[in-house]
C-alpha cells in the first residue's frame, strides 16, 4: 500500500509502560498494553524503515524484523532512547513513561507489619528507616521523585544535527509525542506540543472504552506546530499508525 516510502529511514519507536520498582515484587506502573507502539513499529517496518522498538514489559510477541530493546524503568528507557536516536531520522514516543518513581526501592519485599519481631530481626530497623515502604498502622506511604522527561530533554539537545537529508542539508531528529488525556484534551495537548517542541503530537482521549490504554482502536487528534488540528475518526491502531507515518513522511525531506 505504501510500498517502500520509508526505505533508508531509521526510526526509533517506544511502546508499553514503564515499571518503577517499590520492592523486588511490586512496582508503580500503568495500563499500557504496547498495542499502539507495536502497531507504529510494525507499520514503519512494512514501509521499509530500519526500526528500533524500545519496549516496556508487555504481553505482545516481538515483531519480526525490528530491533527490539526491552526495558523496565523510565531511566532505562531514557538511556535506550539516548543511545538509539543519534543516527535516527524519527523518534515516536508512544510509551507511557512514569513521571515519578519510588525514591528508595526496598531491596527486600516490604512486610505488611513492620513491627513484627521476626521482620525486625531479619531485616533490621535501620533498613526499614532508609528504604521505601513505611507501614504505620493501617497506612503505607511511598515517597516518589520525578523522572526525567525524555522528550523535553531531547528538545534542548542538538540530536540529529549530524544527519543529512536527501539534498545534503543537516536536519534535526523529527520528534513525535503522544498525549494521554482524561480531560481538557485540546488544551493539554497544545501545551505538550509547545513545551516539548514536537513536530507532531498525537492526543488520545483515554477515557473512552474504544480508545487509549489496552483498546484495539484509538480516537486521536493530530496537533501540528502551525496550530492546525486534525480530528481523526475512531480506527484500528494499525490505521492510526499508518496516518502517523503519512504525516511524518511529509516532514522528511
**Residues at the contact surface with ligand PMT, assessed by CB under 6 A:** 32-37, 74, 93-97, 99, 147, 149-151, 177-180, 192, 204, 206, 212-214
The verdict on whether residue 196 carries a ligand-binding annotation is yes
Closest to ligand PMT by CB, 6 vs 95, is 95
The verdict on whether residue 111 carries a ligand-binding annotation is no
Contacts of 192 (CB under 8 A, 6+ apart): 177, 179, 198, 201
Contacts of 10 (CB under 8 A, 6+ apart): 49, 50, 52, 87, 88, 89, 90
**Exposure pattern of 144-178 as b/e (b: 16+ CB <10 Å)?**
beebeebbeebeeeebbeebeeeeeeebbbbbbbb
Report the DSSP pairing between strands 26-28 and 20-23. Answer: antiparallel
Q: Among this protein's residues, is 30 annotated catalytic? A: yes
Q: How far is the CB of 168 from ligand PMT (least distance, A)?
A: 30
Closest to ligand PMT by CB, 8 vs 214, is 214
Catalytic annotation, pick one of 30, 86, 165, 218: 30
Closest to ligand PMT by CB, 19 vs 32, is 32
* Cα–Cα distance measured from residue 139 to residue 128, given in angstroms and rounded to the nearest whole number: 15
Closest to ligand PMT by CB, 16 vs 133, is 16
Handedness of CA 212, 216, 220, 225 (dihedral sign): positive
Q: How far is the CB of 82 from ligand PMT (least distance, A)?
A: 11
* Cα–Cα distance measured from residue 168 to residue 166, given in angstroms and rounded to the nearest whole number: 5
Cα 238 to its chain centre, rounded Å, is: 18
The verdict on whether residue 216 carries a ligand-binding annotation is no
Q: How far is the CB of 90 from ligand PMT (least distance, A)?
A: 13
Q: How far is the CB of 42 from ligand PMT (least distance, A)?
A: 13
| Catalytic residue list | 30
Residues belonging to the binding site for CTP are 99, 109, 178, 192, 196
Residues belonging to the binding site are 99, 109, 178, 192, 196
Amino acid at each position: 500500500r505504501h510500498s517502500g516510502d520509508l526505505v533508508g529511514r531509521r526510526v526509533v519507536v517506544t511502546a508499553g509502560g514503564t515499571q518503577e520498582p517499590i520492592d523486588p515484587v511490586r512496582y508503580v506502573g500503568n495500563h499500557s498494553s504496547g498495542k499502539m507502539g507495536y502497531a507504529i513499529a510494525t507499520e514503519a517496518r512494512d514501509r521499509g524503515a530500519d526500526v528500533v522498538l524500545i519496549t516496556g514489559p508487555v504481553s505482545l510477541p516481538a515483531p519480526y524484523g525490528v530491533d527490539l530493546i526491552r526495558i523496565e524503568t523510565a531511566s532505562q528507557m531514557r538511556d535506550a532512547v539516548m543511545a538509539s536516536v543519534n543516527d535516527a531520522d524519527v523518534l515516536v514516543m508512544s510509551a507511557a513513561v512514569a513521571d515519578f518513581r519510588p525514591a528508595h526501592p526496598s531491596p527486600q519485599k516490604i512486610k505488611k507489619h513492620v513491627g513484627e519481631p521476626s521482620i525486625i530481626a531479619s531485616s533490621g530497623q535501620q533498613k526499614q528507616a532508609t528504604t521505601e515502604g513505611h507501614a504505620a498502622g493501617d497506612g503505607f506511604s511511598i515517597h516518589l521523585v520525578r523522572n526525567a522527561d525524555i522528550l523535553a530533554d531531547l528538545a534542548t539537545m542538538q540530536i540529529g544535527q549530524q544527519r543529512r537529508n536527501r539534498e545534503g542539508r543537516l536536519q534535526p531528529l523529527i520528534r513525535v509525542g503522544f498525549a494521554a488525556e482524561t480531560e481538557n484534551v485540546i488544551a493539554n495537548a497544545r501545551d505538550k506540543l509547545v513545551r516539548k517542541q514536537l513536530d507532531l503530537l498525537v492526543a488520545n482521549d483515554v477515557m473512552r472504552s474504544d480508545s487509549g490504554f489496552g483498546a484495539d482502536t484509538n480516537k486521536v487528534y493530530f496537533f501540528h506546530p502551525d496550530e492546525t488540528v486534525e480530528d481523526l475518526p475512531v480506527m484500528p491502531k494499525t490505521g492510526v499508525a499508518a496516518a502517523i507515518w503519512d504525516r511524518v513522511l511529509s516532514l522528511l525531506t
